[in-house]
Amino acid sequence: MNLLIVYYSREGSTRLIAQGLAAATGGTLRELVDSRKMEHGGMFRALRSTMVGRGTTLIDPDYSIEPDARVVIMTPVWLGRPTPAVTTFVKNAALRGTRTFVIAVGGTTGNPGAIARLAKRVTSRGALVIGHADVPGYIPDPKAVRPSDEELVAEGVHLAEAVRQAFEEPS
Ligand SMILES: Cc1cc2nc3c(=O)[nH]c(=O)nc-3n(C[C@H](O)[C@H](O)[C@H](O)COP(=O)(O)O)c2cc1C
């Protein structure tokens, strides 16, 4: 299966989950890099963009998608929403006609709003959302125990089954 796994990750949990998913599916990883520096008010501006559904400027973005590619789009959840980097990718990528699986990585599971927003944007670009998942990354509290890198990679490996099944079902 020609699987493209596109993701943004600020702190690294989404990257590790994506790596596990890629290892288990043979998918190709594509990381989105936000040009915004998150220090000195950059995070505040990023969150303002997140709130209003605005994107950002990506560094060296690749918006190409091979015609036979199946696409997985992964975003951290910020304020119950997809991140600006992923919003920009969805706005610009050649998604029309593709089958897409969307994944939200949050401090907890239970982020239906982020999934619904992302799915709506992907659908409005002419793609078909064939499945979704909602998985835990880092709890945004310095006192919380963080899952280990190995645990996050294992989460990605575990996700592979749901992704594979969704793409195998006729749509
Ligand atoms: C500014 C900010 C807002 C967040 N808002 C939410 C939220 O609304 N719901 C949630 O479950 N997690 C929220 N989180 C937690 C992140 O989604 C979580 O830590 C995720 O694993 C981060 O992904 P990353 O490590 O790939 O950057 C927030 C984190 C940050 C930094």
DSSP 47-92: HHHHHHT---PBSS------TT-EEEEEEEEETTEE-HHHHHHHHH
Pocket mutation for ligand 1, best pick of 8, 77, 111, 153 (most atoms within 8 Å of C-beta): 77
- Ligand 1 within 6 A of CB of 47: yes
- Ligand 1 within 6 A of CB of 7: no
CATH class for the region spanning 3-168: alpha beta
Q: Return the closest-CA partner of residue 75 out of 46, 32, 131, 110.
A: 32
- Ligand 1 within 6 A of CB of 106: yes
Distance from Cα 171 to the centre of ligand 1, integer Å:
32
Which residues lie below 8 Å from residue 44, measured CB to CB, with a gap of 6+? none
DSSP secondary-structure letter at 34? Answer: B
pTM of the predicted protein model: 0.97
Q: What is the pLDDT of residue 41?
A: 86
- Ligand 1 within 6 A of CB of 164: no
* Atom 28 of ligand 1: nearest residue by CA position: 78
Q: Return the closest-CA partner of residue 13 out of 78, 71, 57, 98.
A: 78
Angle at 77 between CA 122 and CA 143, to 5 degrees: 170
Domain boundaries of the chain, sorted by first residue: 3-168
Residue 137 Cα: closest atom of ligand 1 = 21
Q: What is the pLDDT of residue 171?
A: 65
What's the distance, CA 87 to chain centroid? 10
Instruction: Show the low-confidence residues of the chain (pLDDT under 50).
Output: none
Report pLDDT digits (tens) over 36-85.
Answer: 988 888 899 999 999 999 999 999 999 999 989 999 999 999 999 999 99
Q: Return the closest-CA partner of residue 36 out of 25, 26, 47, 28.
A: 47
Q: What is the pLDDT of residue 146?
A: 94
CA atoms of 6 and 145, how far apart (whole Å): 27
Distance from Cα 105 to the centre of ligand 1, integer Å:
7
* Atom 2 of ligand 1: nearest residue by CA position: 78
Q: What is the pLDDT of residue 139?
A: 95
